[in-house]
Amino acid sequence: MAVALIILAAGKGSRMKSDLPKVLHKIAGAPLLVHAMKSGASLEPEKTIVVTGHGAELVEAAARDWSDDAQVVLQSEQLGTGHAVLQAQGALDGFEGDAIVLYGDTPFIQAETLEAMIAARAENDVVVLGFDAADPGRYGRLVMQGDALDAIIEYKDADDTTRAITLCNSGVICAKSDVLFDLLDKVTDENAAGEYYLTDIIGIARAQGLSATVVRCNEAETMGINSRAELAVAEVAFQTRARSDAMENGVTLQAPDTVYFSHDTYIGTDAIIEPNVVFAVGVTVENNATIRAFSHLEGCHVSRDSVVGPYARLRPGAELAEGVKIGNFVEIKNASLDAGSKVNHLSYIGDAQVGERTNIGAGTITCNYDGVFKHKTTIGADVFVGSNTMLVAPVTLGDASMTATGTVVTRDVPDGDLAVGRARQENKAGFARRMFEKLKSKKAEAAKET
């Protein structure tokens, strides 16, 4: 059976105290909306409909940035969840599969949970995702008759007996698309909030003789984000799970609580991650690589057996082949380093290609930016770049070439050549002694005057 996702992302999120729509606040480098879309993507949906409202243009851009296939519809007035889902009806006209409603501010629904809902839908007309709450609070309650769901009662409309129920509504609902919209057409706003509740479709379905049931999940999956404090709690929850998953998959984390992952970080088996490492968006680290302490990686690829850090920074476009060594206080940006090359100390390599087995000395800088354009530095294989070399791009160093310490390279260096580009040293006899004696005398006179 084909599946369509309807992701509700129209709310402002006033408790965030932000001009940014709530669903665009980030966990692990990705907007809440993207986390919801990723959860639903596990079902391989035929259609993904995002319902926008506040900040619609920004939300639409984020949705399409993640998935070109996402369809976006506007809820111009926020009249409740039922009204929001109805905005997707036109986009699903003629669609004959199941529709599942997700929420852009609920990022942690697991793939296994959604798959269980789809499986349950095969035997029921409507399936609701529920959870047993430690503190039910103001959640809507799921009223059961055996295995059948009889009704969902919102807290503000519930009596004391109903409020005593601990089985709560997550808001996630699955039904055949045409059934879902047929039920929504019958929903009214006759309730305490004057809104069209999506949850009212359960009572309507039961009255029509349709079946409804509940799939249960862990309460942690249903965490909704409504404030900065909840966003921080969600970040902790994500990082805790990501660290656990990494270690279960054969990654060594020497101090797990100090390592931070992005939503898309990939680390291979037998990689070693030392303390205080941050992985931003777009990082792949292959098997047996080592990331040493206090390093920051973003938008880069580290091949097997490479070593990065400590105190290294890999920026977007950094591509390290097998066995590359990047040392302390080195920054790599938009540069490819071939197998066995080394940049061990205090260097910046940007917009560059570095050949196999090349050694970049301490304090080397690729001078890649002229104030308007970026230029490329090409360094061949088996090159030795002396310490404190300035490579003024565009420039090429041929295979097996060398630069002398302190050289400023402004012209290409042919294969096997040594480049020396520095001012001739002159020693002025006795000048240092005379200068210091003069300065010390001035200091002594100044002290007497005070």
Domain-embedded: residue 407: yes
Share of the chain above pLDDT 90, in %: 91
Residue 425 has pLDDT above 90, yes or no: no
Residues 195 and 238 in one domain: no
Q: Please give the tally of structural domains in the chain.
A: 2
Beta bridge partners of 98: 3, 176
Q: What is the mean predicted confidence (pLDDT) over 184-192?
A: 89
Domain-embedded: residue 425: no
Q: Which residues are catalytic?
A: 345
Residues 276 and 394 in one domain: yes
Residues 6+ apart with CB under 8 A from 202: 126, 128, 149, 150, 151, 152, 212
The whole-angstrom distance between residue 377's C-alpha and the CA centroid of its chain comes to 31
Whole-number pLDDT of residue 201: 95
Residues 302 and 190 in one domain: no
Whole-number pLDDT of residue 327: 96
Whole-number pLDDT of residue 333: 98
Whole-number pLDDT of residue 111: 95
Beta bridge partners of 348: 331, 365
Mean pLDDT of all residues belonging to the chain: 95
Residues 315 and 258 in one domain: yes
Domain-embedded: residue 433: no
Residue 450 has pLDDT above 80, yes or no: no
Residues 89 and 187 in one domain: yes
Residues 215 and 233 in one domain: no
The boundaries of the domain holding residue 319 are 228-419
Element (H, E) at 71: strand 71-74
d(CA 49, CA 85): 10
Whole-number pLDDT of residue 189: 87
Q: Is the peptide bond before 394 cis (omega within 30 degrees of 0)?
A: yes
Give me 77's structure tokens. Answer: 């007035």
Domain-embedded: residue 127: yes
Residues 297 and 377 in one domain: yes
Residue 190 has pLDDT above 90, yes or no: no
Whole-number pLDDT of residue 406: 96
d(CA 416, CA 354): 16
Residue 192 has pLDDT above 80, yes or no: no
Residue 448 has pLDDT above 90, yes or no: no
Domain-embedded: residue 431: no
- Per-residue DSSP letters for 184-248? HTT----STT----TTHHHHHHHHTT--EEEEE--GGGG----SHHHHHHHHHHHHHHHHHHHHH
* pLDDT tens, residue by residue, 292-316: 999 999 999 999 999 999 999 999 9
Whole-number pLDDT of residue 193: 79
Residues 154 and 241 in one domain: no
Q: What is the mean predicted confidence (pLDDT) over 191-212?
A: 91
Residue 326 has pLDDT above 80, yes or no: yes
Residues 54 and 194 in one domain: yes
d(CA 232, CA 234): 5
pTM of structure: 0.90
Whole-number pLDDT of residue 335: 98
